[in-house]
Amino acid sequence: MFKSILNFFKSRTFFKTIGIYLVSLGGIIWLLLSYLDVYTHHGESINVPDFKGVQVSKLHDIASVNHVRYLIVDSIFDAKIAPGVVIKQDPEFNAQVKEGREVYLYVSASLPPEIVMPKLVDRSLRQAITMIFSYGFRLGKVTFVEDECRNCVLEQRVNGKIANAGKIVSKGGTIDLTAGRGMRDITARMPCLYGLTKNEAVIKLAESSLAVGNISYDSGKEDVRAKVYMQTPACGAKEQSVEIGSTIDIFLTVKHTKIPEVPVDTIINTKSEDEGFDDN
């Protein structure tokens, strides 16, 4: 029996059968790969359209024309952008993708998120302003009143209304502060703000019981990269005093060559007079 099996493996019938099997297998694999190429559009790609700045109501038309799909995955509030507008997309504009690819979109929210109002009263003015920025609020007017605790925050308002700690408020609102100016000192030395960002300048002025006035950009629009290159009243080599509570106008630029060097004898210790103040 073993001899007959061995003879079969040596026969032309066996090799013919193996050949038919291999050809059939190759044909099946070729057909499968061809089908996958057609199904997946292998080697074919399209450019992702630009959805940025497009209103939600117009997304379907743009997606249909460009043979892609879209999915709104999140909404982000930005007071500078109209609600219901695409502000970010993934993949980016002009990226090459397969036809029918889903593009993930982020749109501007119509309402700002709500957060719990932090406690600013009884903190130092510097601490309060830092918290305002970190919580995503805008700093409004800082008013100084006569009080024995200089640079202590006495009152906090959101959009003009008193808002005590724990109140639910909209993120991005404007916070006005009332702070103490002391009982004796009526003047402060003028700090030099050259080379500081807007927020840094606001904090440095607060340390001197001063407030920021008009803010101007030489480009005509706000830019987080801009730094102070001019201030009114100006600072100089000679010691200069201004009344506590005064407002200082600042001018900012992204052209850092416009920023003057600060004279050595005008460098002021920016360490807060309230260091060690209870943070609670």
The mean pLDDT value for 106-118 works out to 88
Neighbours of 5 (CB within 10 A): 9
Q: What CATH number matches the domain at 114-266, 3.30.70.660, 3.30.70.1290, 3.30.10.20, 3.40.50.720?
A: 3.30.10.20
Q: How far apart are CA 196 and CA 11, in angstroms?
A: 92
CATH of the domain spanning 46-108: 3.30.10.20
Report the range of poorest mean pLDDT among 10-19, 44-53, 147-156, 171-180.
10-19
What is the structure's pLDDT at 265? Answer: 45
244-253 average pLDDT score:
90
pLDDT band at 70 (very low <50, low <70, confident <90, very high): very high
Q: Tell me what the pLDDT averaged over the chain comes to.
A: 82
pLDDT at 277 exceeding the cut of 90: no
Residue among 50, 66, 51 at smallest CA distance from 101:
66
- Crossing angle for the helix pair 125-134 and 198-207, nearest 10 degrees? 160
Residue 102's SS3 state is: strand
pTM above 0.85, yes or no: no
The pLDDT score that the predictor gives to residue 256 is 87
Which pair of tokens denotes residue 82? 């109209």
Q: Round to whole Å and give the CA distance between 84 and 75.
A: 9
Structure tokens at 113: 């998120």
How high is the pLDDT of residue 224? 86
Burial 35-45 (b: 16+ CB within 10 A, else e): eeeeeeeeeee
Instruction: Let me know: does 175 contact 156? Beta carbons within 8 Å.
Output: yes
**Which contiguous run of DSSP H or E holds residue 145?**
strand 138-145
- One-letter amino acid of 230: M
* pLDDT for res 253: 95
Give the domain ranges of the chain.
Answer: 46-108, 114-266
Say yes or no to pLDDT of 271 above 50. no
Do residues 129 and 274 lie in contact, with contact meaning Cβ atoms separated by under 8 Å? no
Work out the pLDDT band at 262, boundaries 50, 70, 90: low
One fold for 46-108 and 114-266: yes
